[in-house]
Structures are given as structure tokens and as C-alpha cells.
Structure 1
């Protein structure tokens, strides 16, 4: 439990770091896009070497398949809901979809961290790095948008404190569920996180990275994948 709280807090801390960076200075779109692409590549490696592989090992192909479908559908419909809400709110909602998106993909990511730590297991360094890095551009971009439309710095920081707190609680919940759940359920959760992340990567993270970083996006994605894959296979 304490380890889940600790490592979940470390992973979620990048949300606060990103918000603070946006508050203290203005970042170029290219810089944000490069970090976003690096995080996307790292998450790809985590989906392949951590979530899918771990889910198959724990719960088998049926559990992972069910989780993949559930996670993909959950993220898809939640994201559509955020888009409709943002459209109604107009400019005053600037940055909110990114913040909600960080919460939507952060919960399953953190839950998987907690499951891995349950029963004294070792933290997945590859997944931890992937979550930490991918959070940065989301919080920087959303914070910059909200500041641009007049939101106060205090509001922005408090918003990300709330998102980070929910993410940490997801890690603790994952650890609690793993203590009482069957291996099949752990496989479903792994699959759910993988499905949600894959939809998020294709629909949001990669297109935005390409738009902001342009020709650098592909290279940064490969570097992120290589780093996370190496951590996953060697650590």
C-alpha cells in the first residue's frame, strides 16, 4: 500500500511539474511536441512489453482481449463526451479537455502500477518512466491554454493537484484490487489500460505531437520507444 502511494505519487508528480513549468515560463509548441512524441513512444513500449505481456501472463488471452475492448470503448466514449462538453463551453473551456484526458488515461496507468506493486512486487521502471514523461506535455499544454484565456495561476495549480491526487488514489486502488482479485481480473485491468492508451495514442497524442513537433515527431517517438523498451527488458 505504501509503495503504491509512493510510486503513484512519483508518477503523478509530473502533472504538477508540467503545470509549474507552464506557470513560470512560456514553452514553444515544438518543445512540447517533442516531449509529447517521446512520451508516446515510451507508452507504445509499455503497452507491448508491460501491459500486454503482463496481462497475458496473469490472465490469459481472453482476459486481455476483454480488457482491451473495454478500455478502448471507455476511452473513446469518454473522449467524445469531453469534446461535446468543450464545444458547448467554447473558449472558456480551453485546456479542460487535455486535463480531463490526462485523468482518463492516468487512472488505468496508475492502477497497473499499483497492481504490479501488490504483494511486494517490483515497480515497472519502463511504465513509470512512460507515465511520468507522457504527463508533462499534457499538463504543460492544458495549463498554457487555461492561462491564455485568463484562468488564474492558483486555479491551474489546484486543478492539477486534484488530477494528480485522483491518479495516486488509482495506484492505491490497483494495489488493493490485486490483493483480493484473481489473476484473470489482473489481466483484464492490464488489457483495459492497454486499450485506453492505444486509443488515446492514435486519436490524440500522436497527431498532436506531429502537429507541434513536425518532422522531429517521428525521431522523438522512436527514441522514447527505445528507452522504454530497454528499461523494460533490462531492468
Structure 2
């Protein structure tokens, strides 16, 4: 259990650090775009190698495909509801929602993998992806909050990110404790659902905002993120 706790902290701590940076400092548009693009690349590799591929190999196209589409649909609907409620302030909160929707299943997978004596590659991949995702999401939340005069304080926003980090640690530990009880189908469904949600995060929120902030060259940062995550997960 101590190992699972340490792994959970190792994956969640970068999320909180990134959120603190994004809430404290105003980053140049080009840097913010590059960070979001790099995070997009790491997430593309994570979906391919750590989430959907094992789900597909374990359960086949029907179960894995249905879970993938369900995860995407869940994020799209939730993102739309946030957009209708918050308007121009929605993008940062949408990225926060993306952290939850892909972070919970990823943390579950991390905890489960510890039961098989693995998890190092997944831990590093999650930590690498969490930093730019949190920086960009928190920075956009702060910027949109200031421009719209919503009144949401920096302390409140940091507290929200801290609460999510704590939940991800708890999910990692719980996943480890339940690893012997979960069937292969259950694990695969969670992984594919997370993959679908992650794809929707990329398409609807992260990559469009990265291009808007960083410009035409952010494709290179995306490729670099993919390469780093692919090497770490291989």
C-alpha cells in the first residue's frame, strides 16, 4: 500500500506544481501554446499505448470500441454544458474536466499495474503529461476569470486542483487494493473509456487552444511530446 501511495503522489504532485505555476505567472502565448502542444503529444501516445491498445487486445473491438466512444461522448456533453454555462471562461474548466476524466482511469490503471510488479513507465508518462496540462489549464482558468470578472480567487482555484490531485492519489491506492478483484474486462473498459475522453479533450479543447496561443509551429512541440511519452512507455 505504501508503494501505491508513493506512486500516486509521484503522478499527482506534478499536477499540483503545474497548476501553481499557471495560477501564479502569466506565461508568454508561445510558451503556453508549446506546453499545451507538448502535453497533447504525450496524451496521444498514452491513449495509443497505455489505454486503448491493451483494452483492444484484452476485450476486442466491440467492448473496447464502445467504451472509447462512450468516454468521448461523456466529455463532449460535459464540455458543452460547461461552455454554455461559463461562455468565454470555459476552456480552462474544460481542461480541468479533461484532467479528471483521463486522470482517474489512468490512476486506476497505475494502481492495478503495481499488482503485477509494473508501473514505472506509466508513472513517468502520467507525470510528464500532467505538468503542461495543469499549467495550461490553470493559466487559462486564471486569465478567463480575470477577463470575465467572475470573482473566482486564485486560492479557490488552487484548492480545486489540490482536491483533484488528492483524488487521483486515492484512486491509485484504491486501484492497487482492488487489483486482484478486477476482471480483465473491467480494467479494459476503464482504459478504453479514458482513451475516448482523452481524444475528445485533445480535439475539443487542448489542441485548438494550443494552436490559437502558439501558432503554426506547435506541431513540432506536439511531435516532441509524443516522442518523449512513446519512449518512456516502450
Fold equivalence (TM over 0.5): yes
The 8 Å contact of residues 113 and 128 in structure 1, kept in 2 or not, is answered as no
Contact 1:14 1:133 in 2 (8 A): no
1:130 aligns with 2:104: no
C-alpha displacement of 1:44: 0.6
Cα 1:160–1:199 shift into 2, 3 Å: same
Q: Which residue is equivalent to 1:80? A: 80
Paired with 1:147 and 1:117, the residues of 2 have a C-alpha distance of 42
Instruction: Count how many residue pairs are aligned between Structure 1 and Structure 2.
Output: 230
Q: Paired residue for 2:172?
A: 171
How far apart are the structure 2 equivalents of 1:185 and 1:227? 29
Change (3 A) 1:95 1:108: same
Q: Which runs of 5+ in 1 are unaligned?
A: none
Q: Which residue of 1 aligns with 2:145?
A: 146
| Cα displacement string for residues 64-112 of structure 1 (whole angstroms, at most 9, x for unaligned residues) | 223212211221222222222324xx86x78444433432332223222
Question: Residue 48 and residue 168 in structure 1: after superposition, are their counterparts in 2 closer, same or farther (change >3 A)?
Answer: same
Question: In structure 2, what is the equivalent of residue 208 of structure 1?
Answer: 209
Structure-2 separation of matches of 1:164 and 1:224: 22
Report the counterpart of residue 20 of structure 1 in structure 2. Answer: 20
Q: Tell me the distance in 1 between the aligned counterparts of 2:224 and 2:191.
A: 24
* Contact 1:42–1:227 (8 Å) recurs in 2: yes
CA offsets per residue over residues 17-60 of structure 1, 9 Å max, x none? 12321344221221111000001011111111221222234334
Distance 1:206 1:4 in 2: 32
Contact 2:75 2:101 in 1 (8 A): yes
TM-score (norm. length: structure 2) = 0.85
Matched, 1:48 2:45: no
Q: Shift of residue 169 of structure 1?
A: 2.4
Go from structure 1 to structure 2 and tell me whether the alpha carbon gap of 1:2 and 1:80 turns closer, same or farther (over 3 Å shift).
farther
Conserved in 1, the CA contact under 8 Å of 2:101 and 2:194? no
* 2: CA distance, partners of 1:95 / 1:40: 15
Equivalence for 1:107: 104
Q: Any gaps of 5 or more consecutive residues in structure 2?
A: none
Offset at residue 219 of structure 1 (A): 0.6
| Segment of structure 1 superposing worse, 169-178 or 36-45 | 169-178
CA-atom RMSD, angstroms? 2.5
Structure-1 separation of matches of 2:141 and 2:132: 15
